[in-house]
Amino acid sequence: MIPDNLLTILLSPPLLSALLLYGLLVMVLEYFTAHLHHAVREVGFTAWVVEHVLLPWGRVLVLLLFLMLAYPLLFGLHSAPPMPDLLWAHDGRVSTLINTAFILSLLLPLAPLLGNLKGLVLPVQAIAMATLLFHWLTLALNVAEVSYWPGWPALLAILILAPLTQWAAHHSAHWLGGHLNRANNREGFENLLYEGLLLFFQVPAVLVYTLALGRQLHTILL
């Protein structure tokens, strides 16, 4: 068992490696889809599909890869049933994960409150996918009763951290991207960096929830 310490987990090599890979892949995705969208901008439906289907779907796949690489550290656990045992124990689990996050990417910006709080979209997607993984983990461990409610303090921390870290990611990307734009005499680095840095900044909000879930399994996996 590892210490259930947010900072310890944040600075652990497995989580940092997963975040680095996520950042690189999502920037490649943003670059590719931006060029594709530009190429098909005159074809209305195709451009819409690239922006509203291909890009969100790609982001979900990269987020799923991050969660797979961060598991089981994601729940504050050192050992747990292998990820393939969770995903392929029953048909349809992978598609359920992907479809859930994809639908959230479409619906959350339309919600009356969340639509104005863009900083909540990525954490909510990650939390929803992590909740499904945790549910399948408890089934694999034959745990009869668990709670998916993290408690009011954890919920408050998430609601505070999510917009604050989104703001920090935005301003960091704007500052660094501006320097890169001037150094390379071109535009667009801000958007690429923002997407690549967003999870780096927002992962604490996700971990507040996932560690609260995993804490329930500490006695089982001792």
Distances (CA, A) of 20 to 3, 14, 62, 86, 217: 23, 10, 12, 24, 28
How does residue 117 score in pLDDT terms, banded at 50, 70 and 90?
low
Predicted confidence at residue 212, as pLDDT, reads: 93
For the ranges 40-49, 110-119, 163-172, the maximum mean pLDDT occurs at 163-172
Name, in order, each residue with C-beta under 8 angstroms of 176's C-beta and a sequence gap of 6 or more: 189, 193
Q: CA angle, 94 as apex, 118 and 120 as ends, to 5°? A: 10
Distances (CA, A) of 73 to 29, 39, 79, 150, 166: 26, 41, 8, 17, 23
pLDDT tens string 52-102? 889 999 999 999 999 999 999 999 998 899 999 999 988 899 999 999 999
pTM for this model (two decimals) = 0.91
Predicted confidence at residue 222, as pLDDT, reads: 57
All structural domains of the chain with their residue ranges = 6-217
**Contact status, residue 96 vs residue 132, Cβ threshold 8 Å:** yes
Query: Is the per-residue pLDDT at 2 higher than 50?
Result: no
How large is the average pLDDT for residues 25-42?
88
Among 78-87, 108-117, 128-137, whose mean pLDDT is lowest?
A: 108-117
How large is the average pLDDT for residues 143-156?
91
